Structure 1
Amino acid sequence: MADWSLKVVSPENFRGTANILANGGKNPLTAMFGRDETLNPAVKGYAIYAVFENLAEHRMEAVKAVFGEGESLCYESLTPVIPAAAWYEREIQDMFGIVPQNHPDPRPLVLHDTFPDGFYPLRKQVEKDADVHGSRRMDMSVAKGEGVYEVPVGPIHAGIIEPGHFRFSQAGESMLQLDARLFYTHRGLEKLMEGKTPEEALPIVERICGACSVANTWSYCQAVEKIAGVKIPRRAAIIRTLLMEIERITNHVGDLGNIPAGVGFNPAISLGGRTKEMLMRLQERIAGNRFLRGMIVPGGVRQDVDASLCKDIEDIMDKARVSVDDLADMFAQQANFQNRVRTTGIVRKRTAVDLAMVGVGARASGFAHDSRKDFVYGLYPELDFQMVTEKQGDVAARLAVRIAELAESFQLVHQLIAILRADKSTDKLAEEIAWTEVSGEDWGISESARGSNFQFVALAKGRIDRIFVRSASYPNWPAVTIAVQGDIIPDFPLINKSFELCYACMDR
């Protein structure tokens, strides 16, 4: 049985039911996605889901609209009443051809100019290796008026940054508007995983994003384990939680080195990069690779963390803590740096709530939202830690949240190591799962360094019928376009880096 309350409605009642579940904005929209159920004899059509987090009751609530065979694939857009739905609805239209009527911005989102109109890749009838060529219109949104001009940036950038195109509307030096076009290297991973067993899909899930391998894998494993009715061994839960905090620390430290790159603060860049390298080598010591792949599997974990490795982890964490303290002092003492980060790139709390932002981006704007506190998974209910928030919503606030969260994560690692050492269980590290007849649908969530990572999985006789991946970057990218308004264009790299959003997670 699915671990959520799911209401099935007609397309005509979808918007009204979703609006009720949103509860006046108190329950953020976690995800929205489509599904082709034309091969399901009970449906013979298409469906769209909207999933909301009931933060007060610590549970998910969802509504599903079913479009029966031969019915019009149209529904009233949620975006005018739930702004966070904007990108989801555009993506569903691109991938399934389900049209949100009266959407304020119905432009294509995922499928770029080289795709033909009428091509919907996540429909079952479309082959995985379909060779398609065509053209479609993709306009950029720009401001118009006397003295307003456009500045295009990307999609090819200096360095190793992935492709993304940014179109600025300028009046003098001030940014009036920004439109971002992403999804340049969309890999079709959700389509690729259709028909695979959970084990066959696992290497793909691990590689959705190199920075969030643990978060993606844990969310995925939660979903398939709930469908199979499997509870993982306690020691596996301890190790998963430990890996998650190590991955968070590694990413946050990397961000502390990347953010000052936006203003050329080289000593901080160097210290952050050197400390992250130390942590990446620790991850290689733990997993045999620098991204902690291969550790988490459906049913538990693949290998143990022994006493010697626990000692190495503690030693490296103590060294990393010193570096983070040094970085915090450098930031605080450099007046020019503080001048650049304060009141720059502001996202107000109302905006964070309306866009259903997650992670550092949300918490720096006063939106107290952390899946480690909001839901029960791993060992988090047993651990002593605080959710960190700030109110200003600027670059300085996002930097401060990361520094404070690192302090929490360092002590979480020491708590977990102590629990791991005290654990005397002789249980195996993973439960075996016979997937042949497993069917059902469910969700998983985990808190990556960027925020909550949500996945939905539907299995039919042990094989994936539908998987939907919503990384933490997805709900936060639209906030970048708002954060830059009124700031000068040289501040864009600084603002962008302060969110530290991922392109690969979008190009899934």
Structure 2
Amino acid sequence: MLGLRDYLQIYTGIEIIKWDNQEGIVAMDSQDLPDILAYCLEMKPRPIWLTHVVNDERQLGNDFCLYLILHFPDKDFTLTLVAKGIKDEFPSLSLILPALNWSEREAQDLFGLRAVGHPDPRTLVLHPGWPKNFHPLRKDYKTGKEYKSFKRGPLVFPEMHGEGIFQVPVGPIHAGIIEPGHFRFYVIGEPVLHLEAQLFYTHKGIEKLLEGKSLEEGLLIIERVCGVCAVSHGLAYCEAIEKLANIELPRQVLLWRTILAELERVYNHIGDIGNMCAGVGFALGNANGSQSKENLQRLNLEFFGHRFLRGMVVPGGIKSVPGPKDSQEILNRLMELANDFEDWIPLLLEHDGFRQRAVTTGVLKTESAIDLGVTGPAARASGVAYDWRELHSHLLYPELMVKSVVEHNGDVWARLMVRVKETRESFRFLETLLRKGMQEAGRSSYIMNTFSNKLIPWQGAWGCVESPRGTDVIWLMLDDKGKIYRCRIRSASYANWPAVPLTVPGNIVPDFPLINKSFELCYSCCDR
């Protein structure tokens, strides 16, 4: 097989914009994308899809542009394929890489571009009832009028016919406090034949809202995309800004950013473990998980000012660094919580009733996880050794020598065990990092660096962070005034949701709450 760069140069019209040991950026005609992507996916190991971005660059003379970002894990090399000059359609890549199904349908809804050859061209973000000319991410879109002409239409679902087949609709309004999402089960008795999931009920307009905002204003919005991934989204956003400013961060900033990321991971994992117990009515396990998560979030509030750690990460640095005394107290409290975790986690792992509900339930096959670009614990539980902390050298993770925690059965139990093992690892990482922080003593602040005059306009940059649910990716382009021109948010939940319906057939309807909680995905991350 030809080397990747040699292969790309076979095509006429290819422009290699950048190519070094870490990153390549290649511009091409959109019609060449299918062949080039197919070639990339034949390489071993197979590259990982990070994000797919559509951008309206008509005012720059580029028409609409498509950016597809792939990461080659063996070389820690990231390739951005750029297709410019798209006017009203582009060739669909979903049959080559099924992970792009949603993002191409979203491009049809929000930009009015047709994905030619897409296997499922139904609307995704815009439910039936929106006017046909409503494409809010176009730069010439004017707000307000379309809402007055919206008339809700019926959702379209596949038809299934046969003796004894029933449809069981669940949601979008649920008994708990979760956000809206509709699940339609096709069943014979209790066994599920098929599941359709319909999300995108809440239109927050986050990506549109970000346009024209300053970097500071953008951070406030990004941190609120998802409550429990505030640090991960904020880190990815700041990383993209820092690339555009071409700045290097002090070691102390890298150390404390790593600590914050692991604090976010550990409270989420423990909370998710408790929520899985709630999915089978195991009250004691749920209570222990909830109490442990609460204690971790109170620690966040006491030492960092916010239960969800908002406001700590800023472009160019972090808000503040705890001194040695506070660092020692944080360490002491974390070790108490780690010991407490080891006291109650055997109640779950040795509980026959819980194990029987979880083992062989909700299996996600390895092939499906790879094809759909599944990430985080869900991917690692299906045998995919994909942890951004291991694959990409960033923050202080190389010093921690992170290794992907992998299980191979792909069921609810495997997803539980990945979280249990990663929680233990996170406690160990936090102990190591806090001791390093105390050795490098001193309290200081790194409020936003004044680098606005250094920011590169009209150039895309990405940031990527391993959140508790998987990789969160932010793609960012600024205008010549340092304002946000386009910000694309691809959360781990956005990548993982399409896989959930594949894990339900063959199980019974009462298993769905447990299967769903084993993924523990966010609705808010998907709302546009």
TM-score bracket, normalised by the shorter chain, equals over 0.9
The whole-number CA distance in structure 2 between the counterparts of 1:197 and 1:21 is: 36
- Runs (4+) of structure 1 exceeding 6 A deviation are none
**Structure 2 counterpart of 1:78, from 83, 86, 93:** 93
SS of equivalent residue, structure 1 residue 190: helix
8 Å Cα contact 1:386/1:408 also seen in 2: no
* 8 Å contact kept, 1:143–1:177: no
Matches within 5 A, 1:174-253: 174-253=191-270
- List per-residue Cα deviations over 1:225-244 (Å, max 9, x = no partner): 00011112211111100000
Count the aligned residue pairs. 503
Alignment of 1:124 onto 2:139: yes
Q: CA deviation at 1:400?
A: 0.4
Is 1:399 equivalent to 2:419 in the alignment?
no
Q: CA–CA distance in 1 between the matches of 2:361 and 2:204?
A: 34
Q: Which residue of structure 1 lines up, in the alignment, with residue 496 of structure 2?
A: 476
Name the amino acid aligned to 2:425: E
SS in structure 2 of the partner of residue 86 of structure 1: helix
Kindly provide the CA deviation profile for residues 89-128 of structure 1, in whole angstroms up to 9, marking residues without a partner as x.
Answer: 1111111111111211111111123421121110001135
Question: Does the Cα contact within 8 Å between 1:154 and 1:166 map onto a contact in 2?
Answer: yes
Equivalent AA in structure 2 for residue 112 of structure 1: H
Q: Identity of counterpart residues, as a percentage?
A: 40
Give the Cα–Cα distance (whole angstroms) in 1 for the partners of residues 225 and 470 of structure 2: 16
1:65 aligns with 2:80: no
Q: Report the TM-score when normalising by structure 1.
A: 0.95
Say if 2:67 is the partner of 1:49: yes
1:354-389 CA-partner distances (Å, limit 9, x unpaired): 111100000000000011011121111111443211
Question: Of the candidates 457, 467, 471, which is equivalent to residue 452 of structure 1?
Answer: 471
Distance 2:159 2:181 in 1: 16
1:341 matched residue in structure 2: 358
Equivalent residue number for residue 326 of structure 1: 343
Change (3 A) 1:242 1:485: same
The TM-score normalised by the length of structure 2 is: 0.92
**Which residue number in structure 2 is paired with residue 442 of structure 1?**
461
Give the conservation status (yes or no) of the 8 Å contact 1:223–1:456.
Answer: yes
- CA drift of 1:437 comes to 6.1
Q: What is residue 378 of structure 1 aligned with on the other side?
A: 395
Tell me whether 1:172 sits opposite 2:195 in the alignment.
no
Q: 1:149 to 1:254 in 2, by over 3 A?
A: same
Question: CA offset at residue 407 of structure 1?
Answer: 0.8
Q: Work out the CA distance in 2 between the residues paired with 1:169 and 1:140.
A: 11
Q: Is the 8 A contact 2:324 2:441 kept in 1?
A: no
Asked if 1:22 corresponds to 2:2, the answer is: no
Report how far residue 81 of structure 1 moved.
1.5
State the SS of the aligned residue for 2:74. coil
Q: Are positions 1:107 and 2:113 aligned together?
A: no
* Equivalent residue runs for 1:409-424 within 5 Å: 409-424=426-441
Distance in 1 (alpha carbons) for counterparts of 2:158 and 2:491: 25
Mapping of residues 144-163 of structure 1, within 5 Å: 144-163=161-180
Residue aligned with 1:505, SS:
helix
Contact 2:320-2:444 at 8 Å conserved across structures: no
Matched, 1:31 2:47: no
1:288 aligns with 2:296: no
Residue in 2 aligned with 1:358? Answer: 375
Query: How many angstroms apart in 1 are the aligned matches of 2:143 and 2:79?
Result: 32
Closer, same or farther in 2 for the Cα pair 1:172/1:137, shift >3 Å? closer
Q: Could you tell me whether the CA contact under 8 Å between 1:345 and 1:483 is conserved in 2?
A: yes
Number of the residue aligned with 2:150: 134
Letter in 2 for 1:59: F
- In structure 2, relative to structure 1, the CA distance for the partners of 1:14 and 1:337 (3 Å cut) is same
- CA deviations on 1:320-374 (whole Å, 9 max, x unpaired) are 2123223321112211111100000000111111111100000000000011011
Change (3 A) 1:130 1:312: farther
Distance (whole Å) between structure 2 residues aligned to residue 254 and residue 395 of structure 1 = 16
Give the CA deviation at 1:286.
2.4
- Report the alpha carbon displacement of residue 297 of structure 1 after superposing the two structures with TM: 0.3
Quote the Cα distance in structure 1 between the aligned partners of 2:77 and 2:300: 32
Cα distance in structure 1, aligned partners of 2:83 and 2:116: 15
* 1:137-177 per-position Cα deviation (integer Å, ceiling 9, x unaligned): 64123533332211100000011111100011112211111
Equivalent residues of 1:18, 1:50 under 8 A apart: no
Question: Which ranges of structure 2 fall in alignment gaps of 5 or more residues?
Answer: 1-16
Report the Cα offset of residue 424 of structure 1: 4.9
1:14-41 C-alpha deviation (Å, 9 max, x unpaired):
2222222333581122211210001113
Q: CA deviation at 1:506?
A: 0.9
Give the Å deviation of 1:486: 0.5
Q: Deviations over 1:454-491 (max 9, x none)?
A: 11001112111110001111111111100111100000
Give, in whole Å, the separation in 2 of the partners of 1:478 and 1:301. 35
Asked if the contact 1:142/1:179 (under 8 Å) is kept, the reply is no
Which segment drifts farther, 187-196 or 425-434? 425-434
